[in-house]
Amino acid sequence: MPLRSAPLPRMAGHLSFMRAQTKAICDVRPGDLAVLGIPFEDTSAPHAGQSLAPRALRETSVYFGWHANPQFSHPVDIDARQDIQTDGLHERLCDLGDISPGPEDEIHAALRAATSQISRNGACAVILGGSDRLSETVQSALPECQTAQLGGPSGDACDFQIAPLLNGGGTTCTLDTAAQRAAFTQWRDVSKPLFVRFDLSVFETSLSALCDRPRLGGCDLDTVVQWLSALGQHEVSAIMLTGLNPNRPGMGVVKVGQRLMVTALLAFIYARLGFGIDHPGRLTSEENVLT
């Protein structure tokens, strides 16, 4: 059989986030986005399966890895009918792999050390998977950090919370996005690191079966995209994707959850790297045709 010279099929080859290059953490440079997986099962979570989230999110992200494929090298904003200049994405997005499994205290220590080193290097950590306790570990690695939380249980009163799950139960989302954006500007202290926690439970009721914490109300995809695009324009030190449980019954339900999170995360990635932000608050990529 002859060697293949054309681009690999999307499902083939080494699995990394969006087909990004792999790097050692010591090689992460200022301005990079460094992806890190946490394949860890939190015994305090309501259901098992969170350890599968990093691989599931990487598998879904492969469909958006156009920057590594010459056939998809010219993304277009289908709304504005404009090309998006994304030169350098493949150089600035990298995948560090997963934190090695082990005793719980060692996992927390490794996550704290990795987050701290990525931040010291002037890069942003994109953490796939994790639990409430692991998000606290990330916060502890960023001294005096501010936390912006999309979904998830209501946390510290000092955090900026977007559609939180009050007391771990249901809450109706009646958000005025413009007013909250103004409130966020007042809340943000640029002298402190910024940590973003993006939990699947932020999405609206019709998608509530996707996560372990069903809710009343929530945000639609456009609203979440607007927030992640806005947050990406700040110097975020780390963003953590939580709440996804690929072990839940129903392949269709699982795939929708993965696609929602990766699609919304694209807005953050493009804004964080300075791509497609002529129209703040809107996803500008060829992938919004896939949402």
Other CB atoms within a 10 A radius of the CB of residue 120 amount to 11
- Cα separation of 16 and 130, whole Å? 18
Closest CA to 94 of 34, 54, 24: 34
| pLDDT > 90 in the chain, percent | 37
Decide if 71 is inside a domain.
Answer: yes
Decide if 215 is inside a domain.
Answer: yes
Asked if residue 139 lies in contact with residue 195, where contact means CB atoms within 8 angstroms, the answer is yes
Tallying the residues shown for the chain, one arrives at 291
Q: What is the model's pLDDT at position 276? A: 58
Decide if 127 is inside a domain.
Answer: yes
> Is residue 170 very low, low, confident or very high in pLDDT (cuts 50, 70, 90)?
very low
Decide if 11 is inside a domain.
Answer: no
Bridge partner residues of 198 (DSSP): 150, 241
Decide if 104 is inside a domain.
Answer: yes
Decide if 4 is inside a domain.
Answer: no
Environment class of 26 (CB within 10 Å of its CB; exposed 0-12, middle 13-18, buried 19+) = exposed
pLDDT in tens, 72-113: 555 555 455 556 566 677 788 999 999 998 888 999 999 999
Predicted TM-score (pTM) of the model is 0.83
Q: What is the model's pLDDT at position 115? A: 97
Q: What is the model's pLDDT at position 155? A: 72
Q: Tell me, what CATH number does 257's domain have?
A: 3.40.800.10
- Cα separation of 130 and 216, whole Å? 23
Decide if 237 is inside a domain.
Answer: yes
What Cα–Cα distance (Å) separates residue 77 from each residue in 13, 61, 264, 285, 289? 28, 19, 15, 5, 10
Range of the domain at 141: 17-289
Q: What is the model's pLDDT at position 12? A: 63
Position 242 pLDDT exceeds 50: yes
Q: What is the model's pLDDT at position 218? A: 80
Query: Number of folded domains in the chain?
Result: 1
